[in-house]
Structure 1
């Protein structure tokens, strides 16, 4: 096998052999130091490193020639030049285009062993430019701008390949009010106009993914807004009125209503009024002698009484607390809250103790 020799850069004065065009790179007079025969020999022996080295050395020579502004030169500069910008975002596309170029060079060199590698690579790029311009997965955005490929062509190919990273977001956008298929086409055209030499497939995936994310964010925000609206409606209906009107007059609901009455906000006044209504209605469950004391305490210091009742609902342990006594039979509205009120120190017993009889006053041991 021949040794890989260093590339001798030939002076590039009058390097171009013809002017070329928008669809064909100009041939150059300054030839590579390597031929297809050498390229084939390295490939046959599996010497991929040497094969890659002579290809890259030849492309470096082409980089100094193809610096114009024709569409195909820009295509070359963006996709195959050794000076192209490479980053993590487009690395996958770089690999795809490099593999396509390698395959095309292999085909040309196998059929034309005497060709100079400069001519072989130039011919390979010219062929790829035409062949890939109609393939949705390999074309650049320039093909979309020139209407060689439509958005529907991309969808058809994505469906054939079962490429759901395009299919699913596209379906979401298409069936969302205010978006639709025309919206995608417009945004794809805008993105391609900014990056005509980017891979169309990648740009299409980015466009539909971006706007699917935008739609999802809006839907999440709307859902949260509706949930918050429903939560507020429930809380106002439950705790914004007397608990005795909703059938929730127990200790836990009283604790919740009290806490809401203490929280600053738009509805604090309503919760405060509702808490007072709950206390007033709770008094109806007391005996007359209890009611006299209850009414005075509530009238003198309603906020203080409400706070004291809150502590009463939290006192004791499971089984002994007035809010957690075991009861048999059907539960009655407000019975827990009534027990909590009766457990307060200032509230008298429901039934006044009877005076002791004469017999009960007899001293013990007589």
Structure 2
């Protein structure tokens, strides 16, 4: 009888001896609801859905057992349990993990049909945990932090698989001054330290894209600032001086210059001074007779005159307006602006009309 005692204890010791291991889940004591032979039978029928339900029920059973604080039990709860929530890429990660794990379970049950499904699933997860530690596509952040997998390994596979969601942002970061590949490494270490059981492939995808998007945003702001500087430079060079100095003294440019002189801002005073210079230079195109009136009107009320001239540039119909006459090359030489000034009510005609002769006087009604 004494000889039987060690033999009786062996199964109990085997069931409990690996409890607390960081690399292997302990075999559960509870009886499994299914066997591998049952699982294999459904496979023979091609009933994959029933197999999935069996695995799901078995994992629910394992959930009640693996509540310890060993590393692999924490890994199990984070990755394989029914309550696992694998980051922002939960669906993609779960599909990737499930596909690989199911393949291992299939193989385990085929070679050990007498095993309970709980044992097969446990052994399969143990194998999965070890095997995937060095696989770039399936490794966890913990494997990355421990050096089982490197950033170069992941990038190499991403390049081979043409996975541009990783390749492109990493390339942007690596080629950006003050960032470089070191920025990716640093950020991934931070992310993985906070989420050791997340899939490192997905975390690199999320982390690299976040940094790359931030870089693109910063570059967009800089480009926008450069465009704004170029626009302001052009406008100051064009409308911040007399239009006659830039050769743009036509009605449309006068309208633009006037609008800018009325807009509050840092450069309003410059635009107002430029508008007055444009009006002063426009007076040079008038006859002496017109100039006398023009100078007085401008001196008495420069802002009022500028506003009246603006109205004159808008008056008339296409073809009759002083701003829309065909000039054959003269359009941008101040002729339009001169005509607009002459069309104003207070400006006399360029040449005083001669009195009619006696022969030109024709009685009304004849």
Same fold, TM exceeding 0.5?
yes
Give deviations 1:97-144, integer Å, cap 9, x for gaps.
Answer: 111111111000001111111111111001111110001100111111
Aligned residue number for residue 260 of structure 2: 260
Give, in whole Å, the separation in 1 of the partners of 2:357 and 2:227. 66
Aligned residue number for residue 3 of structure 1: none
Instruction: Give the secondary structure class of the aligned counterpart of 2:201.
Output: helix
Matched, 1:58 2:58: yes
Give, in whole Å, the separation in 1 of the partners of 2:27 and 2:328. 100
Instruction: Give the secondary structure class of the aligned counterpart of 2:353.
Output: coil
Could you list the runs of 5+ residues in structure 1 that have no partner in the other structure? 1-13
> How far 1:314 sits from its partner (Å)?
0.3
> How far 1:47 sits from its partner (Å)?
2.6
Contact 1:18 / 1:28 at 8 angstroms: preserved in 2? no
Aligned residue number for residue 223 of structure 2: 223
> How far 1:49 sits from its partner (Å)?
3.3
Contact 1:169 / 1:208 at 8 angstroms: preserved in 2? yes
Contact 1:155 / 1:167 at 8 angstroms: preserved in 2? yes
For normalisation by structure 2, the TM-score amounts to 0.92
Aligned residue number for residue 185 of structure 2: 185
Give, in whole Å, the separation in 2 of the partners of 1:332 and 1:91. 65
Give deviations 1:187-225, integer Å, cap 9, x for gaps.
Answer: 000000111111110000011100110000000000000
> How far 1:58 sits from its partner (Å)?
1.6
> Aligned-pair RMSD on alpha carbons?
1.9
Q: Residues 223, 362 of structure 1: CA spacing in aligned structure 2 closer, same or farther, 3 A cutoff?
A: closer
Aligned residue number for residue 71 of structure 2: 71
> How far 1:23 sits from its partner (Å)?
1.0
Could you list the runs of 5+ residues in structure 2 that have no partner in the other structure? 1-13
Contact 1:20 / 1:27 at 8 angstroms: preserved in 2? no
Contact 1:251 / 1:336 at 8 angstroms: preserved in 2? yes
Aligned residue number for residue 171 of structure 1: 171
> How far 1:330 sits from its partner (Å)?
4.9
Contact 2:250 / 2:332 at 8 angstroms: preserved in 1? no
Aligned residue number for residue 355 of structure 1: 355
Give, in whole Å, the separation in 2 of the partners of 1:158 and 1:365. 98
> How far 1:62 sits from its partner (Å)?
1.1
Give, in whole Å, the separation in 1 of the partners of 2:331 and 2:320. 18
Aligned pairs (5 A) from 1:208-247: 208-247=208-247
Instruction: Give the secondary structure class of the aligned counterpart of 2:265.
Output: coil
For normalisation by structure 1, the TM-score amounts to 0.92
Give, in whole Å, the separation in 1 of the partners of 2:236 and 2:95. 61
Give, in whole Å, the separation in 2 of the partners of 1:335 and 1:46. 89
Instruction: Give the secondary structure class of the aligned counterpart of 1:138.
Output: coil
Aligned residue number for residue 118 of structure 2: 118
- Which segment drifts farther, 84-93 or 129-138? 84-93
